[in-house]
A = this chain, B = another copy of it.
Amino acid sequence: MIIQLEQNISPTVKEKILSSINTIGYKTTEVKTQKGIYLVCIGKNEFDIRLIGSLNGVQDVHRVSDSYKLVSRKWKVNATEIDLGDGVLIGENNFSIMAGPCSIESEEQVEKVVKHLVENNIKVMRGGVFKPRSSPYAFRGMGIDGLKMFNRICRANGIKIITEVMQVSQIAEMIDYVDVFQVGARNSQNFNLLDELGRVDKPVLIKRGMSGTIDELLQSAEYIFSNGNEKLMLCERGIRSYETAYRNTFDINAIPILKEKTHLPVIADPSHGIGIREHVPMIALAAMMAGADGVIYEVHEKPEEAASDGAQTLNFDESKQLVGRLNANYSLNLV
């Protein structure tokens, strides 16, 4: 059960509500986010929900039988919209395009990509400065100095930044330079990181784990929301299967199912989802058609020279064409 409290509730009134919940034997977690105050109540006893609904200070109350609560569409029917500032909105009636290189490599590289984004009216740039790599001997990113440079160029051009955070200690040093924190597939169930990201006021995009279930992804989002941050979006980026003809199996089914189960925006990553440059646009378009709120893909001036992920990275021409097709199809299906 989720109880939404009135914003200006007094301690005394809240105390009375808590004691009523106590009476029915439910365990309560109080959650205060940027937008509201909630009580998440977990228990098994039967009771008349109207008794809670009629209490002073209660704005709304909903039964939520899912394993996740606050991110469920069962209590919040309307889609969540996330505001990155300067008119950049994600979710609801927007189709968001985020693009950029796998890794931030140099000032020159960032400038070229930013120029490409501006020309194509793309508002959000991706680019990793802390790179999770299977091997300890591989390139691990430019780090915090790379992020500052990345930020400087984007700010000067009105571009928002999404980049991966890998551990708790990076949050504080990164927070002023990013617009969206990205949680990578390998950290999808790094619960300490999720807890901490719930304690800051900055949007977060959570990728589904390599072989994470849809339910686990929603529970990972619940970690962040229940710690106080409801500026959240989810990302389908392909799962692991037995097929070896491509890198990951993009789970197109996950898109409509996530849209049904949660009010959070759902973003598709076609680059990791198939891992083969020629086919990335097809998967991006398919994801849009299946109901995604946006895409995040890899683009680079010269993919064949990229420091990482070149085989799945579009060049500027391919990216430009994809943007055109996404916009045309989105308009047709918007009604």
Query: Which residues of A come within 8 Å of B, CB atoms?
Result: 27, 29, 40, 42, 67-69, 132-137, 166-169, 186-187, 189-193, 195, 209-216, 219, 222-223, 226-227, 239-246, 249-257, 260, 273-274, 276, 278-279, 282-283, 285-291, 325, 328-329, 332-333
Contacts and interface: CB of A to CB of B under 8 A. Distances in A.
A112 B308 CA distance: 53
Contacts of A242: 211, 213, 239-242
B282 A256 contact: yes
Contacts of A67: 134-135
A85 B230 CA distance: 49
A52 to B, nearest CB: 18
Contacts of A209: 210
Contacts of A274: 253, 256
Given A191-B132, A192-B167, A282 B290 contact: yes
A272 B331 CA distance: 29
B216 A134 contact: yes
A42 B192 CA distance: 34
Given A136-B226, A210-B211, A242-B211, A190 B187 contact: yes
Contacts of A227: 136
A238 B219 CA distance: 22
Contacts of A222: 135-136
- Select the residue from A243, A328, A329 with max chain B CB neighbours within 10 A: A243
A134 B241 contact: no
A132 B189 contact: yes
Contacts of A191: 132-133, 136, 166, 186
A314 to B, nearest CB: 14
Nearest to A273: B253
Given A136-B191, A210-B211, A253-B283, 4 more contacts: A134-B189, A134-B219, A241-B242, A252-B286
A304 B256 CA distance: 22
A291 B255 CA distance: 18
A240 B253 contact: no
A245 B213 contact: yes
23 contacts: A27-B137, A134-B216, A136-B223, A136-B227, A166-B192, A186-B189, A187-B190, A211-B240, A213-B242, A213-B243, A249-B253, A252-B252, A252-B283, A255-B282, A256-B278, A256-B279, A257-B279, A260-B279, A282-B290, A283-B290, A286-B289, A289-B289, A325-B333
